[in-house]
Amino acid sequence: MKAKILVTGGLGFIGSHTVVALQERGFEVVIIDDLSNSSLDVLGGITKITKTTPEFEHLDLRNKEKVAEFFVKYPDINGIIHFAASKAVGESVENPLLYYENNLNTLIYLLQHLREQKNPRFIFSSSCTVYGQADELPITESAPIKKAESPYGNTKQIGEEIIQDTCKAHPEFQAISLRYFNPIGSHPSAHIGELPIGTPQNLVPFITQTAIGKRKELAVFGNDYPTPDGTCIRDYIHVMDLAQAHVVALERLFGKREGPNYEVFNLGTGKGNSVLEVIQAFEKVSGEKLPYRIAARREGDVVAAYADTTKANEELGWRAQYSLEEALDSAWKWQQRIGR
Protein backbone atom coordinates (compact mmCIF):
# COMPACT_ATOMS: atom_id res chain seq x y z
CA MET A 1 0.00 0.00 0.00
CA LYS A 2 1.26 3.45 -0.87
CA ALA A 3 1.61 6.24 1.68
CA LYS A 4 -1.32 7.45 3.79
CA ILE A 5 -2.06 11.12 3.11
CA LEU A 6 -4.23 13.48 5.15
CA VAL A 7 -6.19 15.89 2.95
CA THR A 8 -7.76 18.69 4.99
CA GLY A 9 -10.76 20.33 3.34
CA GLY A 10 -10.90 17.19 1.22
CA LEU A 11 -14.61 17.54 0.43
CA GLY A 12 -14.13 21.06 -0.89
CA PHE A 13 -13.75 22.00 -4.54
CA ILE A 14 -10.00 21.55 -5.09
CA GLY A 15 -9.64 19.08 -2.23
CA SER A 16 -12.15 16.57 -3.62
CA HIS A 17 -10.58 16.57 -7.08
CA THR A 18 -7.15 16.09 -5.51
CA VAL A 19 -8.44 13.16 -3.42
CA VAL A 20 -9.61 11.51 -6.66
CA ALA A 21 -6.21 12.10 -8.29
CA LEU A 22 -4.39 10.72 -5.22
CA GLN A 23 -6.54 7.59 -5.03
CA GLU A 24 -6.14 6.97 -8.74
CA ARG A 25 -2.38 7.16 -8.17
CA GLY A 26 -2.59 4.55 -5.39
CA PHE A 27 -2.31 6.75 -2.31
CA GLU A 28 -4.43 5.97 0.73
CA VAL A 29 -6.39 9.07 1.75
CA VAL A 30 -7.87 10.32 5.00
CA ILE A 31 -10.08 13.40 4.71
CA ILE A 32 -10.77 16.00 7.39
CA ASP A 33 -13.56 18.47 6.66
CA ASP A 34 -15.81 20.56 8.91
CA LEU A 35 -18.50 20.72 6.15
CA SER A 36 -18.80 24.50 6.57
CA ASN A 37 -18.44 25.06 2.83
CA SER A 38 -18.92 21.55 1.45
CA SER A 39 -21.27 18.58 1.59
CA LEU A 40 -21.01 14.96 2.69
CA ASP A 41 -22.54 14.07 -0.70
CA VAL A 42 -19.10 14.80 -2.22
CA LEU A 43 -17.78 11.66 -0.52
CA GLY A 44 -20.26 9.66 -2.56
CA GLY A 45 -19.08 11.37 -5.74
CA ILE A 46 -15.45 10.50 -4.97
CA THR A 47 -16.47 6.87 -4.38
CA LYS A 48 -18.38 6.70 -7.68
CA ILE A 49 -15.33 7.91 -9.60
CA THR A 50 -12.59 5.91 -7.87
CA LYS A 51 -14.60 2.91 -6.58
CA THR A 52 -12.86 3.57 -3.24
CA THR A 53 -14.20 5.50 -0.25
CA PRO A 54 -11.52 7.47 1.58
CA GLU A 55 -11.62 7.53 5.37
CA PHE A 56 -13.45 10.64 6.59
CA GLU A 57 -13.34 12.58 9.85
CA HIS A 58 -15.84 15.38 10.48
CA LEU A 59 -13.61 17.78 12.38
CA ASP A 60 -13.10 21.51 12.93
CA LEU A 61 -9.34 22.03 12.85
CA ARG A 62 -9.67 25.07 15.12
CA ASN A 63 -10.30 22.62 17.96
CA LYS A 64 -6.77 21.89 19.15
CA GLU A 65 -7.78 18.93 21.35
CA LYS A 66 -9.68 17.25 18.49
CA VAL A 67 -6.68 17.70 16.20
CA ALA A 68 -4.48 15.99 18.82
CA GLU A 69 -7.01 13.13 19.08
CA PHE A 70 -6.96 12.73 15.29
CA PHE A 71 -3.19 12.17 15.24
CA VAL A 72 -3.47 9.63 18.05
CA LYS A 73 -6.06 7.75 15.97
CA TYR A 74 -3.97 8.04 12.77
CA PRO A 75 -0.31 7.75 13.82
CA ASP A 76 0.70 6.52 10.36
CA ILE A 77 -0.02 9.71 8.35
CA ASN A 78 2.89 10.11 5.90
CA GLY A 79 2.04 13.55 4.61
CA ILE A 80 -0.53 16.36 4.64
CA ILE A 81 -2.10 18.37 1.85
CA HIS A 82 -3.72 21.34 3.56
CA PHE A 83 -6.68 22.90 1.77
CA ALA A 84 -8.99 23.67 4.71
CA ALA A 85 -9.40 27.46 4.92
CA SER A 86 -11.86 30.28 4.51
CA LYS A 87 -11.29 31.66 1.03
CA ALA A 88 -13.51 34.59 0.01
CA VAL A 89 -11.67 37.89 -0.48
CA GLY A 90 -14.74 40.08 0.15
CA GLU A 91 -15.82 38.19 3.27
CA SER A 92 -12.29 38.42 4.68
CA VAL A 93 -12.42 42.21 4.42
CA GLU A 94 -15.69 42.20 6.39
CA ASN A 95 -14.67 39.55 8.94
CA PRO A 96 -10.86 39.51 9.26
CA LEU A 97 -10.69 37.79 12.67
CA LEU A 98 -12.57 34.73 11.38
CA TYR A 99 -9.99 34.45 8.59
CA TYR A 100 -6.98 34.82 10.88
CA GLU A 101 -8.35 32.24 13.31
CA ASN A 102 -9.48 29.72 10.71
CA ASN A 103 -6.54 30.00 8.31
CA LEU A 104 -3.61 30.38 10.72
CA ASN A 105 -4.45 28.52 13.95
CA THR A 106 -5.38 25.40 11.98
CA LEU A 107 -2.11 25.49 10.04
CA ILE A 108 -0.08 25.80 13.25
CA TYR A 109 -1.89 22.89 14.95
CA LEU A 110 -1.24 20.64 11.94
CA LEU A 111 2.44 21.55 11.73
CA GLN A 112 2.90 20.96 15.47
CA HIS A 113 1.68 17.40 15.08
CA LEU A 114 3.35 16.72 11.76
CA ARG A 115 6.67 17.73 13.34
CA GLU A 116 6.43 14.59 15.50
CA GLN A 117 6.14 12.31 12.45
CA LYS A 118 9.10 10.64 10.79
CA ASN A 119 10.02 12.44 7.53
CA PRO A 120 7.25 15.05 7.74
CA ARG A 121 5.89 16.17 4.35
CA PHE A 122 3.51 19.08 3.85
CA ILE A 123 1.83 20.71 0.84
CA PHE A 124 0.21 24.09 1.40
CA SER A 125 -2.69 25.40 -0.62
CA SER A 126 -1.45 28.93 -1.27
CA SER A 127 -2.63 31.53 -3.74
CA CYS A 128 -1.52 34.08 -6.30
CA THR A 129 -3.08 36.68 -3.99
CA VAL A 130 0.29 36.72 -2.17
CA TYR A 131 1.66 38.80 -5.06
CA GLY A 132 -0.97 41.54 -4.80
CA GLN A 133 -0.90 43.62 -7.99
CA ALA A 134 2.37 42.44 -9.50
CA ASP A 135 4.70 44.94 -11.18
CA GLU A 136 5.34 42.59 -14.09
CA LEU A 137 3.22 40.04 -15.93
CA PRO A 138 3.32 37.09 -16.18
CA ILE A 139 4.13 36.58 -12.50
CA THR A 140 7.17 34.48 -11.55
CA GLU A 141 7.80 32.90 -8.13
CA SER A 142 10.51 35.51 -7.51
CA ALA A 143 8.04 38.41 -7.83
CA PRO A 144 7.96 40.50 -4.65
CA ILE A 145 5.37 39.58 -2.02
CA LYS A 146 3.52 42.86 -1.59
CA LYS A 147 1.32 44.06 1.22
CA ALA A 148 -1.79 41.93 0.91
CA GLU A 149 -4.91 43.48 -0.60
CA SER A 150 -7.15 41.53 1.79
CA PRO A 151 -7.02 39.60 5.09
CA TYR A 152 -7.49 36.40 3.03
CA GLY A 153 -4.37 37.19 0.99
CA ASN A 154 -2.52 38.08 4.18
CA THR A 155 -3.33 34.68 5.73
CA LYS A 156 -1.72 33.00 2.71
CA GLN A 157 1.38 35.20 3.03
CA ILE A 158 1.69 34.55 6.76
CA GLY A 159 0.94 30.84 6.24
CA GLU A 160 3.85 30.55 3.82
CA GLU A 161 6.14 32.33 6.31
CA ILE A 162 5.10 29.96 9.11
CA ILE A 163 5.90 26.93 6.94
CA GLN A 164 9.19 28.41 5.76
CA ASP A 165 10.27 29.14 9.35
CA THR A 166 9.27 25.61 10.39
CA CYS A 167 11.37 24.12 7.60
CA LYS A 168 14.33 26.30 8.61
CA ALA A 169 14.09 25.15 12.24
CA HIS A 170 13.50 21.50 11.33
CA PRO A 171 15.71 20.35 8.42
CA GLU A 172 13.90 17.00 8.24
CA PHE A 173 10.72 18.83 7.23
CA GLN A 174 9.84 18.79 3.51
CA ALA A 175 7.25 21.33 2.32
CA ILE A 176 5.92 22.85 -0.89
CA SER A 177 3.61 25.85 -1.23
CA LEU A 178 1.51 25.79 -4.40
CA ARG A 179 0.33 29.24 -5.44
CA TYR A 180 -2.73 28.71 -7.57
CA PHE A 181 -4.28 31.17 -9.86
CA ASN A 182 -8.05 30.75 -10.53
CA PRO A 183 -9.33 27.14 -10.40
CA ILE A 184 -12.49 26.35 -12.39
CA GLY A 185 -14.26 23.37 -13.94
CA SER A 186 -15.22 19.96 -12.62
CA HIS A 187 -14.41 16.28 -12.97
CA PRO A 188 -15.35 15.02 -16.49
CA SER A 189 -17.80 12.52 -14.90
CA ALA A 190 -19.72 15.44 -13.31
CA HIS A 191 -19.84 13.42 -10.08
CA ILE A 192 -17.94 16.19 -8.26
CA GLY A 193 -17.51 19.90 -8.97
CA GLU A 194 -17.61 23.35 -7.42
CA LEU A 195 -20.42 23.47 -4.86
CA PRO A 196 -20.46 26.85 -3.11
CA ILE A 197 -22.73 27.20 -0.09
CA GLY A 198 -24.90 30.31 -0.46
CA THR A 199 -23.96 33.03 -2.95
CA PRO A 200 -20.89 32.08 -5.01
CA GLN A 201 -17.80 34.23 -4.45
CA ASN A 202 -16.12 33.04 -7.66
CA LEU A 203 -16.94 33.95 -11.24
CA VAL A 204 -17.60 30.58 -12.86
CA PRO A 205 -20.17 29.13 -10.43
CA PHE A 206 -21.96 32.49 -10.61
CA ILE A 207 -21.95 32.17 -14.41
CA THR A 208 -23.31 28.60 -14.38
CA GLN A 209 -25.95 29.39 -11.74
CA THR A 210 -27.09 32.39 -13.79
CA ALA A 211 -27.21 30.31 -16.98
CA ILE A 212 -29.38 27.65 -15.33
CA GLY A 213 -31.74 30.25 -13.86
CA LYS A 214 -30.75 30.07 -10.20
CA ARG A 215 -29.45 33.66 -10.31
CA LYS A 216 -31.21 36.50 -12.08
CA GLU A 217 -28.06 38.01 -13.55
CA LEU A 218 -24.31 38.07 -13.26
CA ALA A 219 -22.54 41.06 -11.70
CA VAL A 220 -19.31 42.11 -13.41
CA PHE A 221 -17.35 44.06 -10.82
CA GLY A 222 -15.93 47.05 -12.69
CA ASN A 223 -15.39 47.74 -16.38
CA ASP A 224 -13.01 50.67 -15.98
CA TYR A 225 -9.80 48.76 -15.22
CA PRO A 226 -6.72 49.46 -17.39
CA THR A 227 -7.23 46.29 -19.46
CA PRO A 228 -8.27 45.85 -23.13
CA ASP A 229 -12.00 45.53 -22.30
CA GLY A 230 -11.96 47.23 -18.88
CA THR A 231 -12.61 44.07 -16.85
CA CYS A 232 -10.20 42.22 -14.54
CA ILE A 233 -7.86 39.63 -16.00
CA ARG A 234 -7.18 36.28 -14.32
CA ASP A 235 -5.47 32.99 -15.11
CA TYR A 236 -8.23 30.35 -15.10
CA ILE A 237 -6.92 26.81 -14.56
CA HIS A 238 -8.94 23.59 -14.78
CA VAL A 239 -9.27 21.97 -11.36
CA MET A 240 -8.20 18.62 -12.87
CA ASP A 241 -4.86 20.14 -13.87
CA LEU A 242 -4.52 21.58 -10.38
CA ALA A 243 -5.30 18.23 -8.73
CA GLN A 244 -2.65 16.52 -10.85
CA ALA A 245 -0.08 19.12 -9.76
CA HIS A 246 -0.65 18.17 -6.10
CA VAL A 247 0.06 14.52 -6.85
CA VAL A 248 3.25 15.44 -8.71
CA ALA A 249 4.35 17.77 -5.88
CA LEU A 250 3.67 15.06 -3.29
CA GLU A 251 5.70 12.53 -5.24
CA ARG A 252 8.52 15.08 -5.36
CA LEU A 253 8.47 15.22 -1.55
CA PHE A 254 8.65 11.42 -1.37
CA GLY A 255 11.56 11.24 -3.80
CA LYS A 256 15.16 11.55 -2.70
CA ARG A 257 16.40 14.93 -3.85
CA GLU A 258 18.99 17.58 -3.18
CA GLY A 259 18.21 21.21 -2.57
CA PRO A 260 16.01 23.23 -0.23
CA ASN A 261 13.42 21.59 2.00
CA TYR A 262 10.92 24.36 1.23
CA GLU A 263 9.83 25.23 -2.31
CA VAL A 264 7.21 27.38 -4.00
CA PHE A 265 5.51 26.83 -7.36
CA ASN A 266 2.98 28.83 -9.38
CA LEU A 267 0.09 26.81 -10.80
CA GLY A 268 -1.73 28.37 -13.72
CA THR A 269 -2.04 28.15 -17.49
CA GLY A 270 0.24 31.09 -18.18
CA LYS A 271 -2.57 32.89 -20.01
CA GLY A 272 -4.84 35.64 -18.74
CA ASN A 273 -8.50 36.05 -19.66
CA SER A 274 -10.76 38.97 -18.83
CA VAL A 275 -14.15 38.54 -17.16
CA LEU A 276 -15.90 39.43 -20.41
CA GLU A 277 -13.77 36.91 -22.33
CA VAL A 278 -14.81 34.19 -19.86
CA ILE A 279 -18.47 35.14 -20.29
CA GLN A 280 -18.13 35.00 -24.10
CA ALA A 281 -16.31 31.64 -23.95
CA PHE A 282 -19.04 30.22 -21.72
CA GLU A 283 -21.79 31.44 -24.06
CA LYS A 284 -19.96 29.74 -26.93
CA VAL A 285 -19.58 26.31 -25.27
CA SER A 286 -23.02 26.27 -23.61
CA GLY A 287 -25.15 27.98 -26.25
CA GLU A 288 -26.72 30.00 -23.41
CA LYS A 289 -26.98 33.81 -23.41
CA LEU A 290 -25.88 35.25 -20.08
CA PRO A 291 -27.66 38.26 -18.59
CA TYR A 292 -25.11 40.46 -16.80
CA ARG A 293 -24.73 43.98 -15.45
CA ILE A 294 -21.71 46.10 -14.69
CA ALA A 295 -21.37 46.69 -10.93
CA ALA A 296 -18.97 48.77 -8.85
CA ARG A 297 -15.43 47.52 -8.36
CA ARG A 298 -15.02 45.03 -5.54
CA GLU A 299 -12.65 45.86 -2.71
CA GLY A 300 -9.52 43.70 -2.67
CA ASP A 301 -9.53 42.86 -6.42
CA VAL A 302 -6.32 43.36 -8.37
CA VAL A 303 -6.37 44.45 -12.02
CA ALA A 304 -4.59 41.51 -13.62
CA ALA A 305 -2.84 38.33 -12.53
CA TYR A 306 -1.55 35.45 -14.62
CA ALA A 307 1.26 32.99 -14.04
CA ASP A 308 4.67 32.33 -15.41
CA THR A 309 4.61 28.54 -15.03
CA THR A 310 8.16 27.85 -16.23
CA LYS A 311 9.36 26.63 -12.82
CA ALA A 312 6.50 24.13 -12.38
CA ASN A 313 6.87 23.00 -16.00
CA GLU A 314 10.61 22.38 -15.69
CA GLU A 315 11.09 21.25 -12.08
CA LEU A 316 7.83 19.39 -11.45
CA GLY A 317 7.43 18.22 -15.03
CA TRP A 318 3.84 19.49 -14.88
CA ARG A 319 1.86 21.75 -17.17
CA ALA A 320 -1.80 22.60 -17.59
CA GLN A 321 -3.48 20.43 -20.25
CA TYR A 322 -7.03 21.80 -20.44
CA SER A 323 -8.27 24.89 -22.30
CA LEU A 324 -10.57 27.58 -20.88
CA GLU A 325 -13.41 26.25 -23.06
CA GLU A 326 -12.93 22.67 -21.80
CA ALA A 327 -12.94 23.88 -18.20
CA LEU A 328 -16.10 25.94 -18.71
CA ASP A 329 -17.82 23.08 -20.52
CA SER A 330 -17.11 20.73 -17.58
CA ALA A 331 -18.41 23.35 -15.11
CA TRP A 332 -21.62 23.68 -17.13
CA LYS A 333 -22.16 19.89 -17.29
CA TRP A 334 -21.73 19.76 -13.50
CA GLN A 335 -24.24 22.58 -12.99
CA GLN A 336 -26.75 20.86 -15.28
CA ARG A 337 -26.37 17.63 -13.31
CA ILE A 338 -26.97 19.24 -9.89
CA GLY A 339 -29.66 21.56 -11.30
CA ARG A 340 -30.91 24.69 -9.59
> Residue 168, Cβ neighbours under 10 Å: how many?
12
Instruction: For the chain, count helices (H), then strands (E).
Output: 12, 14
Active site members:
152
Give the residue among 143, 106, 78 at the shortest CA–CA distance from 306.
143
Q: Are 32 and 283 in contact (CB under 8 A)?
A: no
DSSP output for 12-63 = SHHHHHHHHHHHHTT-EEEEEE--SSS-THHHHHHHHHHS-PPEEEE--TT-
| CA–CA distances in Å: residue 268 to residues 64, 248, 282, 286, 320 | 34, 15, 19, 24, 7
